[in-house]
Amino acid sequence: MYRQEPAKRVRAIDSKKHWAGVDFKQLFYPHRLNFYNTPPTTEITLDEFEQWAIDRLRILGEIESCLYRNMTAAELQDVIIKKLQKDLLPLGANSAAGGGSKFQDSKIAKQQDERRKDHYSHYTLRLAFARSEDLRKRFLATETILFKLRYNSDDTQERQAFIESLGFDWEFLSVEEKVAMREDLLAGTGTKSNEADAVFEAGFFRVDWEKVYDLVDQRKVLLRGGKAYVPESQQSSLVIAEFTARLEKALEACLLPPQVFSSRRRNRSLTISTQLTARALPRLDEDDRLIPILNHLSRGFIAPEYNTSMTATTLNGASLTAAVIDDLVQYFPMCMRQLHTTLRREKHLLHNGRLQYNLFLKGIGLSVDEALIFWRKSFSRIDDDEFQKKYRYNVRHGYGLEGTRRNYKPMSCQQILTDRRPAANQVHGCPYREVAIDNLVVGLGTMGVSDRDVIRHVREDIEAKKYHVACSRVFEHTHAKELKREKEAGGWSGGLTENIIHPNEYFTRSFGLKNPGSVEATNAIAPPASGGSGQSMEMD
């Protein structure tokens, strides 16, 4: 470590008036968890600056891709905490260090180093990700999850000490209040009667419901007059909400005019101070060492996305026309089949269904002209005039030719699962989630899936809310022969290497398998989280 001598530090303060009053001492980290309220002030080397940030970034990237795959909280905890503890960002508890002997002193030093790395890497990534709205959002989301995972894995006593150090003022219910509201308090948390006494004894506190909106979201808390009555055990959701709120505020403040960031070339060390993070960015422009690192970091944070430009290829050498869609339906995932059959039956699709299907068709390579023909012909009950008036715009909008002219990407499974759940008369969304299981089995039958075992597994997947796993399972079953052949030919391994996370991926794979040698588009998934090319984030 290259730390600066005190003498030089003093000069630095003199030269920058806005540094007056900032305390350059090494922070002591009493807790394993950190709200990152205080920016780091000591100097670290450029290598540390980069390496620490990359380590943290890898964790955040992993979190994001886990979410993408719809992992449950328990699985996430497993993957991330294991990985964390393994090598990237270890964080030891106080109890592991103890206190007293020399041996333990070195442990404490190590622990402080770990915590410093955690602290600095957080602030470096703040700098890297404060630059666009989208990056900020994702940083906020993944940092929150990281905090939550650590929080849940923290030692109970140390966690309590940490919470007390934050100094929230939560209003605890008096015993009389508690007794008077007993029934409602317990029903509000959904506590079964066998656990009721324990929950009740532990106590409740009262806060504005906005502070625990995730509990409100799940209807897991009693609301009265705008206050939420939170059981002690749910304290975590309050702490986490507070973490998110503070980080969000800090990131937003980044948009204001430049403030402090100083770096000096001498002996390759630098000082980061980013109370309000990206206020700093404009000043950074002069620095030819940090900007490339930060740019690189923010590009490294890329989720796998479906790359449409690559699929706008031709299938079997001819470009796609409206007329062949019916023949291609056999390669479609269930969600798209469902939309297609509904479209054929009703001669109409409601707005969200059109949205989902139109972009999918765009993704498989249907040109806008052909798409207009396709939709025009499909809506056979209406006249030209009505089509022009009500739907043409819609189709073209999807192709980025109207309105904001955004080049919309085909919806991923994630979007289809969560964006807009279908209402009573709509058929968009993910059938594995939205369709009652008995109806789904009928639907599977039409896809040629009647194997009892497969259906049983699909049921289990759905019960576990792993809809994409169910979909992948169906894919593997319906393509079993082809996958096997491919394996023998030395191509892909016997199954899908990964679960389906995009309907267009389903199509491309399906088409490729059933028509071997016809498509180069099979590699149309953009390479995940690598140094990043054009398909990355919109950086404005």
Q: What is the smallest separation between the CB atom of 422 and other proteins, expressed in angstroms? A: 3
Residue whose CB is less far from other proteins, 79 or 223: 223
Establish if 99 lies at the interface with other proteins (CB under 8 A). Answer: no
Q: Which stretch binds other proteins (CB under 8 A): 10-18, 96-104, 223-231, 289-297?
A: 223-231
Q: What is the smallest separation between the CB atom of 392 and other proteins, expressed in angstroms? A: 11
Establish if 223 lies at the interface with other proteins (CB under 8 A). Answer: yes
Q: What is the smallest separation between the CB atom of 436 and other proteins, expressed in angstroms? A: 3
**Spatial distance between the Cα atoms of 76 and 524, rounded to a whole number of angstroms:** 28
Q: What is the smallest separation between the CB atom of 523 and other proteins, expressed in angstroms? A: 24
Establish if 446 lies at the interface with other proteins (CB under 8 A). Answer: no
Number of alpha carbons in the 13 Å side-chain half-sphere of residue 433: 21
Where do the H-state alpha helices sit in 379-451? 384-390, 392-398, 413-418, 431-434, 437-446
Residue whose CB is less far from other proteins, 241 or 322: 241
Q: What is the smallest separation between the CB atom of 213 and other proteins, expressed in angstroms? A: 4
- What part of residues 175-194 is at the interface with other proteins (CB under 8 A)? 184, 186-188, 190-193
Residue whose CB is less far from other proteins, 151 or 379: 379
3-state secondary structure 240-300: HHHHHHHHHHHHHHCCCCCCCCEEECHHHEEECCCCCHHHHHHHHCCCCCHHHHHHHHHHC
Establish if 436 lies at the interface with other proteins (CB under 8 A). Answer: yes
Interface residue with other proteins, options 394, 414, 518, 536 (CB under 8 A): 394
Cα-based distances in Å from 336 to 146, 222, 315, 361: 35, 41, 19, 9
Supply the DSSP string of 481-493, one letter for each residue: HHHHHHHHTTSS-
| 254 annotated as a binding-site residue | no
Adjacency order of strands within the sheet including 43-45: 43-45, 269-271, 262-264
Establish if 465 lies at the interface with other proteins (CB under 8 A). Answer: no
3-state secondary structure 96-142: HHCCCCHHHHHHHHHHHHHHHHHHHHHHHHHHHHCCCHHHHHHHHHH
Interface residue with other proteins, options 2, 168, 172, 393 (CB under 8 A): 393
Segment holding 222, helix H or strand E: strand 222-224
- What part of residues 288-307 is at the interface with other proteins (CB under 8 A)? none
Q: What is the smallest separation between the CB atom of 192 and other proteins, expressed in angstroms? A: 7
DSSP SS3 for 338: helix
Q: Taking Cα atoms as reference points, which of 167, 122, 155, 126 lies closest to residue 31?
A: 155
**Spatial distance between the Cα atoms of 2 and 328, rounded to a whole number of angstroms:** 63
Interface residue with other proteins, options 177, 214, 242, 287 (CB under 8 A): 214
Interface residue with other proteins, options 5, 384, 453, 540 (CB under 8 A): 540
Residue whose CB is less far from other proteins, 99 or 226: 226
Q: What is the smallest separation between the CB atom of 485 and other proteins, expressed in angstroms? A: 35
- 142 burial (CB, 10 Å; 0-12 / 13-18 / 19+) is buried
Q: Taking Cα atoms as reference points, which of 143, 106, 93 lies closest to residue 121?
A: 143
Establish if 201 lies at the interface with other proteins (CB under 8 A). Answer: no
DSSP SS3 for 477: helix
Establish if 403 lies at the interface with other proteins (CB under 8 A). Answer: yes
CB count in 10 Å sphere of residue 141: 15
- 478 burial (CB, 10 Å; 0-12 / 13-18 / 19+) is buried
Interface residue with other proteins, options 7, 318, 424, 489 (CB under 8 A): 424
- What part of residues 243-282 is at the interface with other proteins (CB under 8 A)? 255
Residue whose CB is less far from other proteins, 40 or 503: 503
274 alpha-carbon distance from chain centroid: 25
| 66 annotated as a binding-site residue | no
Place of tokens 């409100």: 216
Q: Is the C-alpha dihedral spanning 231, 232, 236, 238 positive or negative?
A: positive
Residue whose CB is less far from other proteins, 390 or 487: 390
- Residue 194 corresponds to which tokens in the numbers above? 């066998």
All residues at 6 or more sequence positions from 86 whose CB lies less than 8 Å from its CB, including other chains? none
Interface residue with other proteins, options 283, 376, 397, 514 (CB under 8 A): 397
Per-residue contact string for residues 16-55; x = within reach of other proteins by CB under 8 A: ----------------------------------------
Establish if 346 lies at the interface with other proteins (CB under 8 A). Answer: no
Interface residue with other proteins, options 406, 481, 485, 487 (CB under 8 A): 406
Q: What is the smallest separation between the CB atom of 36 and other proteins, expressed in angstroms? A: 21
DSSP SS3 for 21: coil
Establish if 226 lies at the interface with other proteins (CB under 8 A). Answer: yes
Interface residue with other proteins, options 219, 249, 377, 465 (CB under 8 A): 219
Residue whose CB is less far from other proteins, 289 or 459: 459
Contact residues for other proteins (CB under 8 A)?
Answer: 133, 184, 186-188, 190-193, 209-210, 213-214, 216-219, 222-227, 255, 350-351, 355, 359, 389-391, 393-394, 397-398, 402-404, 406, 408-409, 411, 415, 419-429, 434-439, 540
- Which residues participate in the annotated binding site for [4Fe-4S] cluster? 335, 413, 430, 471
